[in-house]
Amino acid sequence: PRLPGSHPAAEQQQRPHCASRHMSGEEAPTQQQQVEQQQQQQQPDGDPPAASDAPQEPEEEKPISVRALVLTGYGGYDKVRLQVKTQKKPRLQPGEVLVRVKACGLNFAELLGRQGLYELLPAPPVTMGMEGSGLIEAVAEDVKDRKVGDRVIALSRSGMWQELVVVPANRTFPMPEQMSFPEGAALPINYMTAYMMLFEMANVRPGKSVLVHMAAGGVGIAATQLCQTVRDVTVFGTASASKHETIAQGGVTHPIDYRTKDYVEEIRKISPKGVDIVLDPLGGSDTHKGYSLLKPMGMLVVFGAANCVTGQKKNLLAMAKTWYNQLSLNTLKLMQANKAISGFHLGYVTDEELFARTMRSLIELYRQGKIKPRIDSCFHFEEVTDAMKRMHERQNIGKVILLPEPKKEEEKPEPKAEEGKNVEQNEAAVDGKKEEATEEAEAEKN
Ligand SMILES: NC(=O)c1ccc[n+]([C@@H]2O[C@H](COP(=O)([O-])OP(=O)(O)OC[C@H]3O[C@@H](n4cnc5c(N)ncnc54)[C@H](OP(=O)(O)O)[C@@H]3O)[C@@H](O)[C@H]2O)c1
């Protein structure tokens, strides 16, 4: 997948398989996990034929198998496991729809969630995932504005990383015809976050300048594209040097390599007075730097603490450092500086009308060709470790997508002996009953 105008050379560092047909042996991830075969008796298709005098089970009572990525405890990559649940088809409550998920988004929040650092995620065992896209498979009787077969974007607080998901109809949004399922899954969290920060909070206007950190990431690319919908907005974007060509083509006016240079100095060289808006997903000392870079009347929006994360396992030292270096100042100082500070967290936005209005605006911008999610890579559920690794190791340019559909045989490399260990059969999940939390999860909670 390529953004209009993006350069093929810059994409070589990308993992460019988003549809199975894009896969080649070379591009295959190093750590494939084999899906264990479903046991015959669990497969609805493999059910032995019913004896003629046996009572026929109604269609909706028949068990179905559902692939889901379950966080089994807090920790490293191995805590997210592919489980095949055998369950009855979910019954819908009024206002709900059943969605067959085709693609889901991986967000930084799930990296935090896996480490036990995302307060909105229910305790393990839990299926993660906040956004996805797919086809409506059933609607509750009272739902009149969605129908079976509709292609929709779907949102949920958690639980999107599975093949079948029940969501309120008002948390689904019809997809434009030209939008692919990976694009649909990439849109909501990244673009709503960027949109609300830029247009609801910071009120970006023509001629303003914006500092976008993690500019080659999901939110970063969304923010850059949205800035371009406003005339003459200058975007300073921090990212690893290897990503600069791509983000410059995507609209970043001044890409800055934060790894080898002091970005404050670099910005001051170009714009001695600083910037009008800083979007800060990093926290700690970077919040101080962002505040210092603000022009009078400028606004800093704090929306993350990525500095807490240094690898797959929780890093208490990095957390302490980020916490210790938090910006704190008194309101008198703020008044005298003529600066604004705000915080944003999409997870705590409860205004349904704001949600719906923002999604409608974004879908319209997509229709007009003004925004287009950049898909970095797509991974099947059994490759979730590689997907998370890609983000932790700072390799992604744009969105990392998870595909519930099993990986096709021809795409799989030769299995290694130890593989397949994070794939489980899970009959305990029948009727939604939760499994016992792992010891590690319990230990983390205490
Ligand atoms: N408050 C909210 O509502 C909200 C909503 C969505 C996201 N967020 C926040 O926005 C930020 C971006 O989220 P995202 O989902 O779009 O992720 P993302 O930007 O795609 O994250 C991965 C990229 O970020 C950069 N990066 C910087 N620090 C990193 C670190 N400590 N670990 C790994 N990568 C790091 C890397 O790019 P480089 O190679 O260029 O460094 C990496 O490729 C996160 O802080 C997230 O928590 C907040």
pLDDT digits (tens, 9 = 90+) for 169-225: 999 999 999 999 999 999 999 999 999 999 999 999 999 999 999 999 999 999 999
Could you give the CA distance from residue 35 to residue 53 in angstroms, rounded to a whole number? 36
Position 60 scores a pLDDT of 65
- Burial 290-321, CB ≥16 within 10 A → b, else e: bbebbbeebbbbbbbbbbbbeebebbeebbee
Residues 315, 323: Cα–Cα separation, whole Å: 12
Mutation probe of ligand 1 site: the residue of 193, 214, 282 with most atoms within 8 A of C-beta: 214
- Confirm or reject: Cβ of 98 under 6 Å from ligand 1: no
- With cut-offs at 50, 70 and 90, classify the pLDDT of residue 408: confident
Asked if residue 65 has its Cβ within 6 Å of ligand 1, the reply is no
> What global pTM score does this model have?
0.84
CA distance 155 to 166: 10
Assigned token pair, 12: 């070589």
The CATH number for 64-187, chosen from 1.10.30.50, 3.90.180.10, 3.40.630.30, 3.20.20.210, is: 3.90.180.10
Written as six digits, the tokens of 402 are: 């998870």
222 lines ligand 1 (CB under 6 A): no
**What is the maximum span of the chain, computed from C-alpha positions, in angstroms?**
85
> What average pLDDT score do residues 158-174 get?
97
**Could you say which architecture CATH assigns to the domain 188-372?**
3-Layer(aba) Sandwich (3.40)
Residue, of 431 and 340, whose pLDDT is higher: 340
Average per-residue pLDDT for the chain: 84
pLDDT-wise least confident of 87-91, 178-182, 423-427: 423-427
Tens of pLDDT, residues 321-347: 999 999 999 999 999 999 999 999 999
Condensed to tens digits (0 to 9), the pLDDT of residues 48-79 reads 333 345 556 666 678 999 999 999 999 999 99
Q: Are 238 and 260 in contact (CB under 8 A)?
A: no
pLDDT at 89: 87
Position 313, amino acid: K
Cβ neighbours for 412, distance < 8 A, ≥ 6 positions apart: 28, 32, 34
Give the sign of the dihedral formed by CA 224, CA 230, CA 232, CA 234: negative
Residue pair 212/218 in contact (Cβ under 8 Å)? The answer is no
**Stretch(es) of the chain classified as CATH 3.40.50.720:** 188-372
pLDDT at 56: 63
Reported as a single tens digit per residue, the pLDDT across 373-406 is: 999 999 999 999 999 999 999 999 999 999 999 9
The angle formed by the CA atoms of residues 243, 247 and 253, to the nearest 5 degrees, is 125
Give the C-alpha separation, 377 to 402, whole Å. 9
Nearest to 165 by CA among 102, 247, 94, 121: 102
pLDDT per residue over 125-153, tens digit each? 999 999 999 999 999 999 999 999 999 99
Is ligand 1 within 6 A of the CB of residue 392? yes
Q: Is the CB of 193 under 6 A from ligand 1?
A: yes
pLDDT at res. 192: 98
214 Cα: distance to centroid of ligand 1 (angstroms): 6
Q: For 205-209, 226-230, 352-356, 432-436, which range has the lowest pLDDT when averaged over its residues? A: 432-436
Residues 6 or more apart in contact with residue 240 via CB below 8 angstroms: 216, 257, 259, 394
The residue ranking higher by pLDDT, 334 or 444, is 334
Q: How far, in Å, from the CA of 68 to the mean position of ligand 1?
A: 24
Distance CA 11, CA 167 (A): 35
Q: Tell the residue nearest (CA) to atom 13 of ligand 1.
A: 108
CA of 56 to the centre of ligand 1 (A): 52
Question: Range(s) for CATH 3.90.180.10 in the chain?
Answer: 64-187
Ligand 1 pocket check for 396: Cβ under 6 Å: yes
* CB 303 near ligand 1, within 6 Å: yes
Higher pLDDT, 38 or 208: 208
Q: Supply the residue whose CA is at minimum distance from atom 35 of ligand 1.
A: 394
Q: What is the mean pLDDT of residues 339-364?
A: 97
109 close to ligand 1 (CB < 6 Angstrom): yes
CA of 281 to the centre of ligand 1 (A): 7
Q: Which of 107-116, 200-209, 420-429 is predicted with the least confidence, judged by mean pLDDT? A: 420-429
For ligand 1, whether the C-beta of 125 sits within 6 Å is no
- Concatenate the DSSP letters of all residues of 351-416 into one string: -HHHHHHHHHHHHHHHHTTS--PPEEEEEEGGGHHHHHHHHHTT--SSEEEEE-SPPPGGGPPPPP
Confidence band for 41, pLDDT divided at 50, 70 and 90: very low
Q: What is the pLDDT of residues 277-326, one digit of tens each?
A: 999 999 999 999 999 999 999 999 999 999 999 999 999 999 999 999 99
The residue-averaged pLDDT of 93-118 equals 97
pLDDT tens digits, one per residue of 12-24: 344 434 543 232 2
The one-letter code for the residue type at 263 is Y
Q: Is the CB of 107 under 6 A from ligand 1?
A: yes
Q: Cα(191)–Cα(154) distance, rounded to whole angstroms? A: 14
**Is any ligand 1 atom within 6 A of the Cβ of residue 290?**
no
